[in-house]
Amino acid sequence: MDIGFRLEHPLTGASFGGRIHVEGAAGALAVIEAAEANPTALTQALARSHGVMVISGMGAIAENPALLVRLSRLFGPEVENYRTTHMAANMVHPEVPEIFVVSNIPPVFRAPPPKPTPPLTPEGKLPVQFPHRRGWHTDQSYRRPPPDISLFLAVQPVPQGQGQTLFADGIAAYEALPAATKSRIETLQGLHIASAAGRKYDAVKSGAPQRELAPHERPVRQPLVRTHPVTGQKSLYLCEYGQMDWLEGPIEGLEPGPDGEGGRLLVELAAHYTDPRFVYVHEWTQGDLVVWDNRCTLHAATWFDAEHLARVMWRTTVWGNPGPAYAGEVKSWLPDMEG
C-alpha cells in the first residue's frame, strides 16, 4: 500500500503549526520507516508549519526508545548524547543517552512550573502571554551554536487541562512588528545564559550575590532576528526572564539590567511574541509526538498536579544547521573542550 504524508494546518485553535497524518502506515515503526523512505517529507512539513508539528499515535516508541533517536536523525545530522554533554545522570534515559527525561517522578524529580498569578486571565482562560505567563524559552539558547530541533514524546502525560505545552510562532510575530521596530532590532544581539548561572531577572532585580562564571558558563550573543537557514524566513529569537543575562544584558549595547533600556525592549518583544494570536496550546495525549524548530519558535511548560499525578516525557535535541552566522564555530559550552 502506498504511504502518504498529509499535512493538516494550521493546528486547531491556532494560526500556525501542523498535524501530520500518515496514511497507509499504522504504528510508530511504520511511520518511521515511511519517513526514512521519504526523508524530506517531515522536514518540509515542519517548515511549512512555521516550526511546530504534531504526530499522534507514536506510543510504541515507549517500548523501543531507540526509535525516537532514529526518527530524530531525520531532522539533522547530530542528535545530542546527553551523557557526553554533562547532563545529570538522573535526567538521562538509562539505555538511550540521547533521550532527556522530563518527569516529576523518580529518578528525575523535576517539578512543574507554578501556576501563573492570577491562575486565569480576566476572561477565564489559560494565560499564555508573557509576563503573565513565565517560562517562555527556546531550547539551549545559551549555547553557540544553538540546537535546531527538539522532539518531545508523551510517554505518560497528565489529563488534559493541565501539563500543556505552549508554542509561539516567531515568524508571524516578527512579520507583525511595526517597520520601525524591525529596523531597530535588525542587528541587535541578545545575551543568553543558562538559568543556573544566577543571572535571571528575579535574581538580578533582588540584588542576589553574583558568582564568577567559568568560561563555558558565560553569556552568549544571539541575534534578536534570525534568518531561518532552510526557509529564509526571518524570526524573532529571544527568551525572557529565565534564560537571558539580566546583569550584562539582556541586549548587547543597550543599557543593561532589569530596569534598563535593553530590559524594556526585551519585555516588550517577549510580550509581543507570546500574544495569544501567535500561540498554540498543546493538550497531550499518550503517544503524541511534537516536533518543534528552536530557530523560529518559543515554548513554555504549564503547571500540573505533581502531588497526585505522574508525568513522563522524553525529549531529544537535534543539531547541525544553525545558519551561516554560526559557520565554523566549535561548541563553546563544553568545559572539557576548552583550551
Residue numbers of the site for Fe ion (CB under 5 A)?
139
Dig out the grid coordinates for 229 from the structure: 537557514
- The nearest distance, CB 184 to Fe ion, in angstroms, is 28
Distance CA 231, CA 234 (A): 9
When the beta carbons of 196 and 330 are compared against Fe ion, the nearer one is: 196
Residue 127 or 146 having the CB closest to Fe ion: 146
Question: Least CB distance from residue 110 to Fe ion, whole Å?
Answer: 12
Q: CA geometry: angle at 243 spanning 266 and 308, to 5°?
A: 120
Phi-psi region of 95 (alpha: psi -120 to 50; beta: other; left: phi over 0): alpha
Closest distance of CB 299 from Fe ion, Å = 6
Residue number with CB closer to Fe ion (80 or 139): 139
Tell me the residue nearest to Fe ion as measured from the CB: 139
Closer to Fe ion by Cβ: residue 110 or 277: 110
Shortest Cβ 23–Fe ion spacing (Å): 31
Distances (CA, A) of 276 to 168, 215, 258: 8, 38, 24
Q: Cα separation of 117 and 126, whole Å?
A: 11
| 219 or 242: CB nearest Fe ion | 242
- The nearest distance, CB 296 to Fe ion, in angstroms, is 15
Pairing, β 4-8 against β 220-223: unpaired
**Number of separate helices (H) and strands (E) present in the chain:** 7, 15
Largest Cα span, the chain = 64
